[in-house]
Amino acid sequence: MRSENQSIGQSVSDADRSFIELARRAQIIDAAVETLAEEGYAKASLARIAQRAGISKGVISYHFAGKEELLERLVEQVYERMGAFMEPRMVAQPDPGERLRAYVESLAAYMREHRVQLAALGQVFHNMRNSEGKLRYGVATSEGLYAFLESIFREGQESGAFRRFDVRVMAVSVQAGIDAMFEYWDVHPEHDLEGHARELAELFAQAVRA
């Protein structure tokens, strides 16, 4: 059993897993994503996840070492996919201003197609805690995003295109604006997500302009 092997310290990469096992794990993660997005973290018990997946509760324990591992794999998966979507869109933009705009609008495009994944991600980020009671995914998780945004801002500042401002505050605010855009659209599905993204990009274009 995969999850038992792990308990003796040998981590198992996806490459070592059989097709059928990968499929089951994916199915379970999908069910977890839906449950988290639609019922919230507190209600996302293994029983409910299993029910949604149409399987027995024990199957989850068979494929994952525990709930903790399931959620961590879920986060990894969502992150990877989002990164794979974003990266080519970023490198194509040489100008810092364009890169910032592309960042905002690409994320909106991703949201449009992956609403439940991102909603689930938010639940895990805001709620999952380690055994000491600290948030498992805290601000430290966003550090990568902040660093990326800050690199854009510094480049713009050095070229003189951007005014002088605190890059950390700007990064935190940009990311907050994007997250809020998602949450607002998540609650108001009729909301014009792409329009919001364009306005948001323009907002920050003005905010950073020299």
Partner DNA sequence: AATGAATGAGGGTTCATTCAT
Partner DNA sequence: TATGAATGAACCCTCATTCAT
3-state secondary structure of 201: helix
State the binding partner of 55 from DNA, its own copies, none, CB within 5 to 8 A by kind. DNA
> Got the DSSP string for 92-157?
T--SHHHHHHHHHHHHHHHHHH-HHHHHHHHHHHHH-B-TTSSBSS-HHHHHHHHHHHHHHHHHHH
Q: Is 20 in the site for DNA (CB under 7 A)?
A: yes
Site for DNA in 98-117 (CB under 7 A): none
Question: What is the closest distance, in whole angstroms, from the C-beta atom of residue 167 to its own copies in the complex?
Answer: 10
Give me the 60-99 binding string for its own copies, x by CB under 8 A, dash otherwise. ----------------------------------------
Site for its own copies in 116-155 (CB under 8 A): 126-127, 129, 133, 135, 138-140
Contact 101, 149 (CB under 8 A): no
> In this complex, which beta carbon is closest to its own copies, that of residue 81 or of residue 163?
163
Phi, psi of 129 (to 5 degrees): -125, 150
Contact 1, 62 (CB under 8 A): yes
> In this complex, which beta carbon is closest to its own copies, that of residue 106 or of residue 123?
123
